Amino acid sequence: MSILEPHLKGSLRPDFQWGYATAAAQTEGAWNVDGKGESIWDRLGHTPGITKDLSTADDATRAYDLYKEDVALMKSYGVRAYRFSIAWTRIVPLGGKDDPVNPKGIEFYNNLINELLGTGITPFVTLFHWDTPQTLEERYGGMLNKEKFTADFLRYARVCFEAFGDRVKNWITFNEPGVYSLAGYAAGVHAPRRSSNRDLNPEGDSSTEPFIVSHTELVAHAYCVKMYREEFKPTQKGIIMITLHGNNSEPWDAEDPLDVEAAQRAREFEIGWFGDPVYKTGDYPESMRAQLGDRLPRFTEEESKLVLGSSDFYGMNSYTTFYVRQKKTPPELTDHLGNVEKLDTNSKGVSRGVESDTYWLRTCSWGLRNLLNWIWNRYQVPIFMTENGTTAKGEHVEAPPPETVLNDTHRIEFFNGYLNALASAVKEDGVDIRSYFAWTFTDNWEWQAGYTDRFGVTWIDYKSPERKRYPKKSATVVRELFEHLIAK
């Protein structure tokens, strides 16, 4: 059941945008249909023994074929907006600036956008949600090559602005540059699977590459925004931003100044890494430079000027909170967290929250409110929440899913807690929040975890050819919450 707090009624602005977020590689399927090229996630999925359930995203939820049904279902969920990503390899199959554009790819997103607008749903479009063209990875190492990658990305973005910008007014350049670089180049578990761990990856260097790749993302983002603002915004009049990941960090022992400092440093390593260059200083946080030295790239003067102020709003993805304890040993070369441990309980034994079906994710709604305040105080930029949600245990069952699965109380409690925390941050703390996209619309392909992590408010029967969709109760609860929280 939804928890409608009387004192929070109408606390969100009347034009507050809400809906669900998805990504192309996790939902579309049709991986090689209608001229689509191969992405690094297609390659990963097709490499034997890599994904947790040995699955591929070849068909995923079949959102490419079923987009009309999906838009209708979303409409029935009451959404005002939908955040999806464009697959670069559908638009430019080989990825490069001189490679041909695929008209079938343009046609698909035109159809999707028109279907949404015709239904009264506002599209929020992400240009890059991790699916780098495989060809670019092979040609020059993808994002390890800043100059070449930026040029290719700009051309792809230009094609998108030209084709869709008459109707798309909300753009997101990169989704979570930090998760892309940390999971792909530090841990080496996401595509393109590089790290210093030779048991896992034949190539890579976790002590340098994550920082190089993130630098490329920031610079490519900034040039993309410059292009949009100069060439498209005057006529198209849209907004453009980057979406940053960031979980909340709290001190393990709130009375220990070292842990208090450690929690602050953890937030700087995770969030300030991108937030400071874009919204605050045009450079990386001092704490990162102090620990990483020359392994952290330096912005040229031109880059720094371009990056600072390059995002109209703060695009924010956040899921959970960790307790953070200062490490007593000097930082290792492969450390990217700020020399801290991230723990499930604090010094008093209090848990960071109820477990989900995803190892890193626990429910902690007060943590979201703290983090919203931290971001607002540090950057003073209005926030668009672009992702937040959870998995729930016990949803891996045979179809048809029983009532106990569709009545997804864990997810319902998550959304009740987080949305009331968000509304409290707006109403009581004065944080300026403009949107909320729940992750996610339907269960989907959770990257290397395959289909094992079900984040959807819609349960999917992966065994049925039509990937039959079953609404979970949380879809209704989210709607009721927003009907209550948004001012009329």
175: contact with ligand PNW by CB under 6 A: yes
* Choices 173-181, 221-229, 427-435, 456-464 (CB under 6 A): range interacting with ligand PNW: 173-181
Nearer to ligand PNW, 319 or 441 (CB): 319
176: contact with ligand PNW by CB under 6 A: yes
> Residue 96 in contact with residue 65, Cβ under 8 Å?
no
User: How far apart are CB 449 and ligand PNW at their closest, in Å?
Assistant: 8
User: How far apart are CB 100 and ligand PNW at their closest, in Å?
Assistant: 28
By CB atoms closer than 10 A (0-12, 13-18, 19+), residue 383 is buried
Nearer to ligand PNW, 40 or 163 (CB): 40
Single out the residue of 209, 217, 408, 446 in contact with ligand PNW (rule: CB under 6 A).
446
Q: Which amino acid is at 304?
A: S
Q: How many residues contact ligand PNW, by CB under 6 A?
A: 13
* C-alpha distances out from residue 13 to 54, 84, 303, 315, Å: 44, 23, 35, 17
DSSP string, 193-251: ---S-TTT-SS--TTTHHHHHHHHHHHHHHHHHHHIIIIIHHHH--EEEEEEE--EEEE
* Choices 10-18, 174-182, 275-283, 308-316 (CB under 6 A): range interacting with ligand PNW: 174-182
CA gap 411, 134 in Å, rounded: 35
Single out the residue of 150, 173, 247, 287 in contact with ligand PNW (rule: CB under 6 A).
247
User: How far apart are CB 298 and ligand PNW at their closest, in Å?
Assistant: 27
CA atoms within 13 A on the CB side of 301: 0
390: contact with ligand PNW by CB under 6 A: no
245: contact with ligand PNW by CB under 6 A: yes
* Pair of tokens at residue 235: 């006529």
Nearer to ligand PNW, 247 or 346 (CB): 247
458: contact with ligand PNW by CB under 6 A: no
Single out the residue of 108, 299, 439, 482 in contact with ligand PNW (rule: CB under 6 A).
439
Single out the residue of 91, 179, 213, 271 in contact with ligand PNW (rule: CB under 6 A).
179
Nearer to ligand PNW, 215 or 245 (CB): 245
368 Cβ partners below 8 Å, 6+ apart?
A: 248, 318, 321, 388, 418, 421, 422, 425
* Choices 171-179, 286-294, 302-310, 408-416 (CB under 6 A): range interacting with ligand PNW: 171-179
CA gap 419, 325 in Å, rounded: 28
* Choices 106-114, 175-183, 214-222, 225-233 (CB under 6 A): range interacting with ligand PNW: 175-183
Single out the residue of 8, 12, 23, 30 in contact with ligand PNW (rule: CB under 6 A).
23
Q: 437 pairs with which residues across the strands? A: 19
* Pair of tokens at residue 285: 């946080």
Single out the residue of 319, 376, 414, 441 in contact with ligand PNW (rule: CB under 6 A).
319
How would you classify the pairing of strands 170-175 and 340-343? Answer: unpaired
- Provide the greatest CA pair distance for the chain: 60
480 noted as active-site residue: no
Residue closest to ligand PNW, measured at CB? 360
Single out the residue of 38, 137, 259, 387 in contact with ligand PNW (rule: CB under 6 A).
387
Phi, psi of 309, rounded to the nearest 5 degrees: 85, 15
* C-alpha distances out from residue 209 to 178, 205, 341, Å: 12, 6, 22
279: contact with ligand PNW by CB under 6 A: no
User: How far apart are CB 174 and ligand PNW at their closest, in Å?
Assistant: 11
181: contact with ligand PNW by CB under 6 A: no
| Catalytic-labelled residue, pool 176, 217, 268, 413 | 176
Element (H, E) at 480: helix 473-485
Return the residues of window 78-117 that contact ligand PNW according to CB under 6 A: none
176 noted as active-site residue: yes
> Residue 319 in contact with residue 367, Cβ under 8 Å?
no
Cα 397 vs. chain centroid, distance in angstroms?
A: 27
Residues recorded for the chain: 488
| Catalytic-labelled residue, pool 28, 268, 270, 387 | 387
Closest residue by Cα to residue 435 from 20, 109, 73, 24: 20
Single out the residue of 170, 173, 317, 321 in contact with ligand PNW (rule: CB under 6 A).
317
> What residues are annotated to the active site?
176, 387
Tell me which residues touch ligand PNW (CB under 6 A).
23, 175-176, 179, 245, 247, 317, 319, 360, 387, 439, 446, 455
